[in-house]
Structure 1
Amino acid sequence: MPPTAAKKTVKQTIQDCLGDLTRSEQQLAHVLLQDYPMAGLQSVTKFASAAGVSTPTVIRMARKLGFDGFPHLQDALRDEVAAQIKRPISKHEDWHTQEADSHPLNRFAESVAENIHYTLERLDRTQFDAVVEQLADQKRRVYVAGGRITRSNADYLFNHLQIIRPNVTQLGGFENVWPQYLLDMDENAILIIFDIRRYESSILRLATLAHERGCRIVLFTDQWGSPVTKVADYVFHALVEVPSSWDSTIAIMLILEALIAEVQRSEWDQSRKRIEELDAMFSTTRLFRTFE
């Protein structure tokens, strides 16, 4: 059987079980979430000391989360780190060694369907609505940036947002000019970032500088979470693993299309005027073929 896309990370398990933990265990959990996953990879004594709790509390929390003990929890964290840094060739070899009992197209489609199902199952609807409200506010400037693989996602979002609202800017692929965009990023701006594993250092630097200027950060990332998570105001996690050397961003695209549709719906009067004006320009320039 191929690796399951549905497997929860330790972070997701903690978030699901947080309400069932004691106050001391919650204190420990918050320390791990704040410096994830590194806080959990140190010795049990140092981990407990960092949270101001006893070592037996660490063991109890690990068991409540479904692990046999703290070493088992650490093994899960190490597996996550290994998965995050996995290279395309390694991913291909992992999937290639699995048994193939159906057509490749079917296997790929099943993986994508699982990714979508579990992404939607864990998606915070309140956060989604908050981002829609932010993007629908035409007084806010919106900036969009993607990485080497996710640049196409950024391009897709930019093309649609630019049609339905003004003041949308896409940061180009030349990182040396990004500081010029940062000049206009403040508390009235939103920076939408895409960053999946192998996380890009330039993206983190951009997000950190924008955050320091008061800009709102919206992050689209994978199930493990980009380092940008630490400075992001809103984070959308999407499952990305498929039987390929490359990760799939289809689950991310689903969230994007829903986001675009809802922003347009919420500001339809203004969006409609822009779309009609744009169509008139297309007709004038004869960009598209007509059949009249």
Structure 2
Amino acid sequence: MSDTEGADTGTDGGTSSGAGAPTRLHQLFEGRRLTPTQRRIAHCLVRRTAAAPFLSSVELAQLAGVSQPSVTRFAVALGFDGYPALRRHLRDVVPVGPAVDTRPANPYQQAVRAEVDNLLQLASLLADPGPVEDAARLLAASRPLPVLGLRASAAQARGFAYFAAKVHPDVRLLDEGGSLLADRIDAARRAGASALLCFALPRHPAELLAALDHARNAGLTVVTIADGTFAPVAAHSDLLLPAAVGTGLVFDTVSAPMLLGQVLLEAMCDGMPDAQARLEEFDARAAARGLFVD
């Protein structure tokens, strides 16, 4: 089964790789304008990092749900003579890791294990905290701070905006599309905004790309949390932070992007001298109002 809103045909297995391997795979796809079919192949390789160097083109095509010629075209799009050359490259950049878990598992367990693998992949990417810290500085300095997320990404944008508002003086949630979206971006820019945070998870609405282009043309620096550096929004963002989504269930699972949002917010708090004071003020107000029962 697949859902037209949140699901993308994916693989059912997880990855098991050495530290740094996901980073090198993402670097292989960075800056590439991949077709939707090619992005599915890239997702499959990232999620099956340990097995990727040993898959035949036919096996990879079956796992990604595409044709064998599509795998060949994918390798050529990455600059290789063909799939064998790509596979040799993968054997050079992907270290041999622990054996893949072969214990019997039902589909629900497989989905959970795949999500755990996504979190481990995120941990590997965060070995270099530079991109997150750079993004945090940009967002913390923006007054106001617009946070954008449409359709399947609206929940992540709303959750981030809720917590960010406790430490940032002016957070503006943009979770509805339509003709007013550009107006709201312009209003934030006129009010002094210098950066915009976007959550962009599959599937990616066409109007989201237009909104990001509008924001950049208006002078905003766009920071995007997306499902990979090969996502369609990569070319429309100034700084992209990747976090894989799970595709083993009818609807995508987004534990890694949600956690990355919280990591980003943590980094923002580290760079905001008044963050702790704002949290204490909120707690005092909440206690005076009897807002919480615990």
Query: Which TM class, normalised by the smaller chain length?
Result: 0.5 to 0.7
SS of the equivalent of 1:59 reads coil
Supply the distance in 1 between the matched residues of 2:12 and 2:164 (Cα, whole angstroms): 36
SS of the equivalent of 2:123 reads helix
Superposed CA RMSD? 3.6
Supply the distance in 1 between the matched residues of 2:254 and 2:282 (Cα, whole angstroms): 29
Aligned-pair CA distance for 1:158: 0.3
Q: Out of 219-228 and 256-265, give the one that drifted further.
A: 219-228
Determine whether 1:263 maps to 2:284. no
Asked whether the equivalents of residues 161 and 171 of structure 2 are also in contact (C-alpha less than 8 Å), the reply is yes
Distance 1:224 1:188, change over 3 A: closer
Aligned-pair CA distance for 1:210: 0.4
Supply the distance in 2 between the matched residues of 1:14 and 1:289 (Cα, whole angstroms): 45
Aligned-pair CA distance for 1:198: 1.8
Residue 66 of structure 1 corresponds to which residue in structure 2? Answer: 87
Q: How does 1:219-258 map to 2 (within 5 A)?
A: 219-223=224-228, 225-258=230-263
Determine whether 1:211 maps to 2:220. no
Supply the distance in 2 between the matched residues of 1:288 and 1:242 (Cα, whole angstroms): 36
Asked whether the equivalents of residues 13 and 65 of structure 1 are also in contact (C-alpha less than 8 Å), the reply is no
Asked whether the equivalents of residues 142 and 168 of structure 1 are also in contact (C-alpha less than 8 Å), the reply is yes
**Residue in structure 2 matching 1:35, options 33, 36, 60:** 33
Residue 130 of structure 1 corresponds to which residue in structure 2? Answer: 134
Distance 1:226 1:110, change over 3 A: same
Asked whether the equivalents of residues 152 and 203 of structure 2 are also in contact (C-alpha less than 8 Å), the reply is no
SS of the equivalent of 2:240 reads strand
Q: Deviations over 1:50-104 (max 9, x none)?
A: xxxxxxx8528x6543269xxxxxxxxxxxxxxxxxxxxxxxxxxxxxx993355
Supply the distance in 1 between the matched residues of 2:207 and 2:172 (Cα, whole angstroms): 18
**Count of residue pairs the alignment pairs up:** 230
Distance 1:209 1:286, change over 3 A: same
Residue 65 of structure 2 corresponds to which residue in structure 1? Answer: none
Asked whether the equivalents of residues 139 and 145 of structure 2 are also in contact (C-alpha less than 8 Å), the reply is yes
Asked whether the equivalents of residues 240 and 251 of structure 1 are also in contact (C-alpha less than 8 Å), the reply is yes
Q: Once the two structures are aligned, what percentage of the paired residues are identical? A: 18
Instruction: In structure 2, give the amino acid aligned to 1:4.
Output: G
Q: How does 1:1-292 map to 2 (within 5 A)?
A: 3-6=12-15, 13=25, 15-16=27-28, 33-37=31-35, 59=81, 63-66=84-87, 101-103=104-106, 105-123=108-126, 124-137=128-141, 139-186=142-189, 188-223=193-228, 225-267=230-272, 269-289=273-293
Moved over 6 A (4+): none
SS of the equivalent of 2:249 reads coil
TM-score (norm: length of structure 2): 0.66
Supply the distance in 2 between the matched residues of 1:108 and 1:162 (Cα, whole angstroms): 33
SS of the equivalent of 1:287 reads coil
Highest Rg: 1 or 2?
A: 1
**Where does the alignment leave 5 or more consecutive residues of structure 1 unmatched?**
17-28, 49-56, 69-98
Relative contact order, higher structure (CA 8 A, sep 6+): 2
Tell me which protein shows more helix as a share of its residues: 1
Q: Deviations over 1:154-195 (max 9, x none)?
A: 111101111111121101425332122121354852211112
TM-score (norm: length of structure 1): 0.66
Asked whether the equivalents of residues 150 and 175 of structure 2 are also in contact (C-alpha less than 8 Å), the reply is no
